[in-house]
Structure 1
Amino acid sequence: MQAKETLFADLVQGKAQQFQVPLYQRTYSWTEKQLRQLWSDILEQAELIERGEQANTHFLGSVVLAPSPQNDATFSRWLVVDGQQRLTTLSLALAAIRDHVKDAEPRQAERIDEQYLINKWQTGIDHFRLLPTQADRTQFAAHIRGPLTEQVGSSVATAYSFFRRKLVEAADPSAPQDVFRIEQAITSRLTLVAVTAQHGDNVHRIFESLNNTGLKLSQADLLRNYLFMKLTTRGEHVYETYWLPLQDSLSNEELEQLMWLQLVLDGDDRVRRQDLYAAQQQRFERDEASEEEIEDYIRELYGRAAVFRRLLHPEEEPDAAVRAHLLRLNAWQAQVTYPALMLLLDRRARGDLDSTDTARAMSYIESFLVRRMICRVPTNNLNRIFQSVPGQLPLDVPVADGLHQLLSSENRFWPDDRELREKIQKAPFYQFGRSQQRKVVLQRLEESYEHPEPVDFAAAQLTIEHVMPQSPGDEWLEMLEEEAADGESAKDLHSRLQHTLGNLTLTAVNSELSNHPFERKQGLLHGSHLEMNRRIAATERWGAKEILARADELADRAISLWPAPLRGVGRAQRSRDWHLAHQVLAALPHGTWTSYGDLAAFLGSGAQAVGNHLASTPGVVGAYRVLTSEGKVSEGFRWTSDDDGDDVRSRLAADGIRFTVTGAADPAQRLTADDLALLVTEDDDRAEAEDTAQRTTSAGQGEETRADRFLRQLAADDSPETVEAVRTLFARWEELGGWIGHGAGQVMTSAFLMLGQAGAPGRGIWPMTLYPGSGRGGTAEVVFQYLATRDPFTDRALRAELLTRLNKLEGVHIPEGKLELRPNIRLSLLVKNGNLELLAETLVWFRDRWETRETV
């Protein structure tokens, strides 16, 4: 047996060879959770390469190999006893890179193929460097041969599509990543331990010993042990005087964060938190630190802990203006800004700036975050931006002015007033950022009205309300029809405006009027204590004109509240919108299409502008899957590459698109603007039942339980037969051992079909969420997207079986392409013959799969 550290490139490239996954191995099963973590590690290594740093490679794990019985002298074959998931994933990532660059740099694509993926002169199955199990072999081989003209849903296809999508995302103009640097990170920065066994070796025992690891020490534990090992004479005094109070005031996680921030404040703007111990140790060793110097370090850490606690507990800040900014940034969950905030509070503690200038500097940080969120600037480079603040802050100007100047640099992408106004008018605000961030924006706008008796936002249970509802009734659509532009339907206009900031407000009232005509909402809004609601209620009608007028008013307030950068970044910002379009098109699941109007509504653009861009921009993945609202290929569509064929329908059919007798793409496979948002939004606000779902409890006198509220709202918009069917469904679910959890929403209540224990990580799971009447009847949302992260439904085959079972219900036709999303079923379908029984049988199957899952 031989064990050595190696790299993917060293393992697979060179002479012709093959790594065979034995047939008894499980199939490829990495989910997006593992893929996201790997991608994060890859980008981190790519960044280190860019800086020229050779140390700090990332250990990926072990690979256990044994000679294959088919091995011969001219062509080495190895059995992959352990590590097939890693090898398969890295191979698919390289295949995605090859296909990403093939049009622009075909020679580089050929090089990647021959170095890592194929044995050029071998034929048949020997052509592939990696040979998965038979169950995965066809799909894997198709992706390695590439480019694919037809994809079938599988874990292999999901992983390949993930990397294609992330490579498009990596071209973000605000922080572009070089694709060949990413390739280098994969092939030469991810280390493996390769264990090569000989005939007769017990490779399974080797695997077991390699993976039998205990609980790891944190970076804070390692550094603490090192420090007190060095304090041979003063250790007890330093521990009792500084370390013990420090440890009592902060958790181990918080202490580690403070240690990292101290390094950053001292000028090390490149240190990673996971390298904290090594970086600080090297600093002490390099400077040959004495006991006194180590004691000084711990004393300074102790002093900065009081400053750090202001970030964790803003209510402890005595200055009102500074406290207000810290509270909002805390609500924003803006931990990424801690290096800059610590610098400001540290400088204030030293007397370098007063509280007024501290608050002004914090207003720039808040504005930077808010404007970028409203204008949909990706957040993937925020860590780098704020970690660099202490080291890059100009020294020749006051601190607050220097921070304003630094954040205004063009490569920081701080939107100017013009772009902010445009996005408030057009962009679907409700679909970007986190739920609490959207509430912070609306709360701050409400506060700007300076109501003489302001709302206590901490006590009020406010939720975001669409004034024009998300599911409009006929009266709403008739009004919108009058305002629709040429070639635009009322539904298109609704899709374009529903999620914009001008149509959103905060409310604490129940939802019985939330989806009804505006006239019935006015009285409710007029009685609100929120000034913004009173102003909406004072309007005679609520259509496109009124929504755009309110957007203008809110834009004026936003521009006043959140300071602008010193220099505008110009219209180069527009490229981000198109980059977002490229991302979402690269993420379209197999068997789905979208329309120009849907894509435009998602972007906050116009359908014609979308069409012009796609027609004039070569290399946009999936551009041919954007059709007219009728599901037809646009008359103006042209391939932008000579390599593409001219039969668009054949390509669509190969992608799983079905056509009706009229020649239109199947409308059931169409992805709306809301569906598109799900494809590129990793923060899933509605998949948090473990935190929000509660078992029904008895209410006090005069109080309404969540369960009662759900059924009341359902009855307000659905037939008595439907309500009774839902009651029966709940009873059947509880007979199976499940329970009904109800969300905290006042405006939109919900019911989760729960299994396990909510609130305990990995314990709770639910197959669907029920929502009451939304103008057109209640719905059951099948949470495929969420299930993809929960065992055992990380197995795509199980999710596909769930879809097949649901499609047996009369009137249910969920296309396979929505297996990555959260499609809806109308609750009224439960009253159809046999549907309730079929759904109950499906839920029995779901429970059985979950209860028999493998546990570790």
Structure 2
Amino acid sequence: MRAQEITFLKLVQGDKQFQVPLYQRTYSWGREQLQRLWEDVGELVDQHLSGEAAAPHFLGSVVLAPGQIQAGGVQRWLVVDGQQRLTTLMLAFTALRDHLAKTGDPRGVDRVHRQILVNEFHEGLDHYRLLPTQADREAYTACVQSRAEAGGSDNIGAAYRFFLGALAEGQEATSDDRWIATVETVLKDLLSIVEITAEPGDNVYRIFESINNTGVGLSQSDLLRNYVFMLLPKRGERVYQELWLPMQQSLGPKNLELLVWLDLVVRGHYKTKQSEIYREQQKRLQPLAGDEDSLHREIAQLTERGRRLLRIIDPQRETSSALRAVLERLAAWGGQTHYPLALHLLDLVDAGSTTPDDAAEALLYVESYLVRRLICQTPTSNLNRIFMEAPKELETDRPAAEAVRRFLSGRRRRWPSDEELREAIHSKPFYWSGRPPQRSYILRRLEESYGSSEPVDFVKASLSVEHVLPQRPAPAWFDLLADETEPNQTPQELHDLLVHTLGNLTLTGDNAKLSNSPFERKQQILDSSALRMNQEIASAQRWGKAEILARADRLTERAVTLWPGPIGGVKPAGEEWPGWAELRAALVAMPSGTWTTYGDVAELIGSHPVPVGAYLGSNATVIGAYRVLTAEGKISPAFRWAEGSDRQPPQELLESEGVRFDPSGRAHGSQRLTAAELATLLGKDVTQPVSHDPLPDGEDAAAAERFRAQLQENWPNTSAGVLAALDFWRLQGGYVTYGRYEETSCFPMLDSGTSRRPHLIWPVAIYPVSGTVEVVFQYLKDRAPFDDTEQRRELLNRLNKIEGIDLPEAKLELRPSFPVRVFAEHGDEICGVLDWFVTTAALDLARRD
């Protein structure tokens, strides 16, 4: 085998084709990996535009084996390893080509298409420079060919849409005309790949197997340790026993790795990636070779910094009560975003450069910054970089707290003002913000602000977030809301705009009792709560729009006091409202063959259908704008393409993507994406009520009886078919669990793992009151064997053969549903699909064993 470092352009140029063999998995990169790559590209673009010398960014290796060469044909290479990187970059170039087409650059379109994507003078499959596995091929070629169905629901389509959106947003954010050309340069010439080529006759599968079954490699901290002690021939044993080993034992492997990275960041090397720790530390320590005194001091300083890191991870170690309190709050918030700045502040405290109280105030601003951004749903894409830059950028001639507040108040760092906070608490769907523990944390802090004489012990209390106005309200709730609707607004639309806002949410340990009960019943339960905020809700006479907005005002006043705002505290003038960027991201995230409504988008971004319509009406070039329809599923009469556009009429374009319309011009409801589904596609944690308790030691008899009673009461003609299917499931080795809420949902569970490593999967969730059966693709995509798109597609296709079930392929990563009444006449067919599901899981278990 031979290896060479090469640019992507040089790798792919020429009459050649990279074929991904059948034994490799399908394309699997998700938003996290794509975002990380795009951030690296963005950094190189910024360096290039500012005139800095931009060193190529190393992506990794691609292992290739020569294939057959036909006379006059292309040189074929089997991609033994590295198909994820190769496919990702090809999709990035496909999106770049299509972005250039939208910006009116036909020469750029032609250049990218011919240089990168295709073998211009070859036809059929030889036309494509990359040929993915059969499972990915159709989705990939749709993107290369710019077909209407490009950008579907699978990972290939999602990656293509990601890059389309990233390019559009990047172009929007810059005033530099060179930006898009620089992106092309970076992708072609500044992404470095090691090309490893096998010899003819090598066993390709054996190479693949050996690459992917290697042992655990040395970590970055292991490499650093080996290097340091190589430079300490005389003192190595002593330094290791006295300093390194105790530090290693107290931190553990992961935190030691974290420490040696943070050590670089706090020193000002904030652009260092965690994969480059060893190289950067080696470069820093190289001049000290031969000076064992200096190296000894370096290890001692690292050890001291390690003790400070432990105070951040475990605040009980902190002796200052003020500093300990805020470190505990940040630990409860979760994540490591604040670690670089917190470690720098502890450095200052221990050096005597600031006081513990001043550092505590500085960290209060950090807490406020994180909380306000979450409530306002400010994008988190550059959050880590902001905190990594902080230690180097803080003004040193001011108290630490003032310096931190000034730094975080910088215009491009987006610390929401009081006005923005008030708007967000009124209108943003807080229930979809951040992670569940962070939402609970904010509500907990708001409750603590009441200063109860007998505060709740939140550590011991088992509390969860409760919607006062229920997510699935009974008709009486809609009757109440009908009195407060605006002209042309339905009670359901008003409900959707209010239900997830902070003013409608509280904490309770009685979530199962409250559920979708009438407000009078909720009043009784909340009034007996130990939480002051619940007693306040219980004192209201009714619970509708006016009460929810009034509570939002009260919570805003508490939030402003708890979490102080930036210096100046005024919303930046002339700056675009962040909700529009979220709208654009949501439309990019929509797979081809789907549509949504102005109301759904308004609910997602915390707006109203009218301004959403006005924004899209004046920005018809927004990617996917034609997919936003009226509440009835019709094209808005006000929708217009940009002047001079030669695009098809919206309905024709949607139909070419696979959206079905009835004769009156109404889009099929199964292909609509709700606000919750849009939020899921954006990566928001759209939590559903905790609905099952997958314990393998038996079924809850009382819950089972509630489910049967509700099913019989609401769907008497369907009850027998559902219960027969559940009995069939048990015969196949599964079991059934039930939800804990008033509507007792049902989950047929299967443990396809081992006694030591359970592997729980379930195909559907059955709701006996609303009469829906959710097919849980969203959960299956993270559970083998259904993490393979083809297996989920097979489940969808088998279900769709049953009359009455119509699941759109565009929802292969969501939770589409069908009516429970299908069980009445087609229970045997559903049992056939369940049998296939169990057999598929069993075959996968046998393969894994």
TM-score (norm 2): 0.90
Note the C-alpha offset of 1:512. 3.1
Matched-pair contact (CA < 8 Å) for 2:45–2:183: no
1:732 Cα shift? 3.8
Q: Which moved more, 1:262-271 or 1:60-69?
A: 60-69
Tell whether the 8 Å contact from 1:717 to 1:777 is kept in structure 2 after alignment: no
2:6 aligned residue: 6
Q: Does 1:821 align with 2:821?
A: no
Point out the more displaced range, 346-355 or 490-499: 346-355
- Residue by residue over 1:534-573, the C-alpha shift from the partner in whole angstroms, topping out at 9 and shown as x without a partner, is 0110000001111111111111111111110003342555
Structure 1 contact 66–81 (Cα < 8 Å) conserved: no
Q: 2:22 maps to what in 1?
A: 25
Which residue number corresponds to residue 793 of structure 1? 786
1:459-490 deviations in whole A, cap 9, x for unaligned? 11100000000011110111111111011111
User: What letter matches 1:850 in structure 2?
Assistant: A
In structure 2, the CA distance between the partners of 1:247 and 1:207, relative to structure 1 (3 Å rule), is: closer
Aligned mates of 1:170, 1:353 — CA distance in 2: 40
**Which shows bigger deviation, 386-395 or 641-650?**
641-650
What CA distance in whole angstroms lies between the structure 1 residues aligned with 2:831 and 2:148? 39
Structure 2 residue matching 1:511: 3-state secondary structure:
helix
Q: 2:488 corresponds to which residue?
A: 487
The correspondence of residues 389-538 of structure 1 with structure 2, limited to 5 A, is 389-538=390-539
Residues 349 and 359 in structure 2, CA contact (< 8 A), matched pair in contact too: yes
Residues 96 and 167 in structure 2, CA contact (< 8 A), matched pair in contact too: yes
The reply on whether 1:92 has 2:85 as its aligned counterpart is no
Does residue 649 (structure 1) correspond to residue 668 (structure 2)? The answer is: no
Greater shift, 44-53 or 715-724, is seen at 715-724
2:681 alignment partner in structure 1 = 679
Number of the residue aligned with 2:770: 777
CA contact (8 A) 2:524 2:538 kept: yes
Q: In the superposition, relative to structure 1, how do residues 768 and 324 fare at CA in structure 2: closer, same or farther (>3 Å)?
A: farther
**How far off its partner does 1:28 sit?**
7.4
Moved more, 242-251 or 168-177: 168-177
Within 5 Å, give how 1:687-836 maps onto structure 2.
Answer: 693-695=693-695, 707=700, 710-711=703-704, 714=707, 717-719=710-712, 730-740=726-736, 751=747, 753-757=749-753, 764-768=759-763, 770=765, 776-777=769-770, 779-808=772-801, 811-825=804-818, 828-829=820-821, 832-835=824-827
**Which amino acid in structure 2 is aligned with residue 37 of structure 1?**
Q
- One-letter code aligned to 1:832: A
Per the alignment, in what secondary structure is the counterpart of residue 82 of structure 1? strand
Aligned to 1:80, what secondary structure does the other structure show? Answer: strand
SS of aligned partner of 1:295: helix
Greater Cα offset, 327-336 or 455-464: 327-336
Query: What displacement does 1:361 show?
Result: 0.9
Asked if 1 retains the 8 angstrom alpha-carbon contact of 2:594 and 2:672, the reply is: yes
From the superposition, tell whether residues 21 and 815 of structure 1 become closer, same or farther in structure 2 (CA, over 3 Å): same
2:639 aligns with 637
Matches within 5 A, 1:63-462: 63-72=63-72, 76-80=74-78, 82-83=80-81, 84=83, 86-106=85-105, 107-120=107-120, 126-132=126-132, 139-146=139-146, 148=148, 156-168=156-168, 180-196=181-197, 200=201, 203-204=204-205, 213-288=214-289, 290-462=291-463
Inter-CA distance 766–138: structure 2 relative to 1 (3 Å threshold) = closer
Distance, in Å, in 1 between the alignment partners of 2:462 and 2:315 is: 21
What is the identity, as a one-letter code, of the residue corresponding to 2:564?
A: P
Q: Specify the alignment match of 2:43 in structure 1.
A: 47
Name the aligned partner's letter for residue 337 of structure 1. Answer: H
Letter in 2 for 1:30: Y
Determine if contact 1:768/1:780 at 8 Å carries over to the other structure.
Answer: no
Q: Specify which of 835, 841, 847 is matched with residue 838 of structure 2.
A: 847
CA distance in 1, matches of 2:151, 2:381: 29
1:214-266 CA deviation, whole Å, 9 max, x = no partner?
A: 32101111111112222211122222222222122111111111122122222
Offset of residue 347 of structure 1: 1.5
Residues 27 and 136 in structure 2, CA contact (< 8 A), matched pair in contact too: no
Report the alpha carbon displacement of residue 140 of structure 1 after superposing the two structures with TM.
3.5
Structure 1 window deviating more from structure 2 (227-236 vs 153-162): it is 153-162
> Displacement, 1:611?
0.8
What corresponds to 1:703 in structure 2?
A: none
- Cα 1:682–1:556 change in 2 (3 A) is closer
Aligned CA distance change for structure 1 residues 4 and 18 (closer, same or farther; 3 Å):
same
Displacement of 1:653 after TM fit?
0.6
Closer, same or farther: CA 341–172 of 1 in aligned 2, 3 Å:
farther
Question: Amino acid of the residue matched to residue 829 of structure 1?
Answer: R
- SS of the residue corresponding to residue 88 of structure 1 reads helix
Pair 1:757–1:551, CA change in 2 (3 A): farther
CA deviation after TM superposition for structure 1 residue 340, in Å: 0.7
Q: Which residue of 2 aligns with 1:623?
A: 625
Contact kept in structure 1, 2:676 and 2:686, CA below 8 Å: no
Report how far residue 645 of structure 1 moved. 2.8
CA contact (8 A) 2:151 2:591 kept: no
Check conservation: 1:596, 1:607, Cα contact below 8 A.
yes
The secondary structure found in structure 1 opposite 2:700 is helix
In the alignment, which residue of structure 2 is the partner of 1:37?
A: 33
CA, structure 1 residues 202+825, in 2 after alignment: closer, same or farther (shift >3 Å)? Answer: closer
Quickly say closer, same or farther: Cα 1:760–1:175, change in 2 above 3 A.
Answer: farther
Deviates most, 838-847 or 544-553: 838-847
- 1:66 is paired with a residue whose SS is strand
| SS of residue paired to 1:820 | coil
AA at the equivalent of 2:36: S
* CA–CA distance in structure 1, aligned partners of residues 343 and 730 of structure 2: 51
Q: CA deviation at 1:714?
A: 3.9
How far apart are 1:834 and its partner, in Å? Answer: 3.6
**2-side partners of 1:271 and 1:53: how far apart?**
16
- Say if 1:715 and 1:554 are closer, same or farther in 2 by CA, change over 3 A: farther
Distance 2:153 2:34 in 1: 21
- How many Å apart are 1:276 and its aligned residue? 1.2
**Corresponding position of 1:701:** none
Q: Is the 8 A contact 1:713 1:772 kept in 2?
A: no
- Name the CA shift for 1:144/1:407 in 2 (closer, same or farther; >3 Å): same
Contact 1:429 1:500 in 2 (8 A): yes
Query: Quick one: structure 1 residues 436 and 204, their matched pair in 2 at CA, closer, same or farther if it must change by over 3 Å?
Result: closer
Deviations 1:606-660 (A, max 9, x none): 1111111111114211111111101111111101253343522111111211112
The answer on whether the counterparts of 2:498 and 2:504 sit within 8 Å (CA) in structure 1 is yes
- What is the distance in 2 between the residues matched to 1:825 and 1:759? 34
State the secondary structure of the residue aligned to 1:285: helix
| Letter matched to residue 21 of structure 1 | Q
Alpha carbons of 1:71 and 1:740: their partners in 2 closer, same or farther (altered >3 Å)?
farther
Q: Work out the CA distance in 1 between the residues paired with 2:704 and 2:56.
A: 56
- What displacement does 1:352 show? 2.3
With normalisation by structure 1, the TM-score equals: 0.90
Are residues 349 and 497 of structure 1, via their aligned partners in 2, closer, same or farther at CA, if it must alter by over 3 Å? same
Matches of 1:318 and 1:285, distance apart in 2: 37
- 1:764 and 1:133, CA in 2 relative to 1: closer, same or farther beyond 3 A? closer
> Over residues 702-740 of structure 1, what are the superposed CA-to-partner deviations in whole Å (9 max), with x where a residue is unaligned?
xxxx93574476468543667887666555434323345
Contact map agreement 1:687 1:786 (CA 8 A) in 2: no
Deviations for 1:319-375, whole angstroms, at most 9, x for unmatched residues? 343333222211221311100111122212222222322221111000100110111
Residues 234 and 723 of structure 1: CA distance in aligned 2, closer, same or farther (over 3 Å) = farther
Native 8 Å contact 2:68 2:76 kept in 1:
yes
Contact 1:393 1:402 (8 Å CA) reproduced? yes
Closer, same or farther: CA 4–639 of 1 in aligned 2, 3 Å: same
How many Å separate the matches in 2 of 1:243 and 1:688? Answer: 45
Conserved 8 A contact 1:782-1:822 = yes
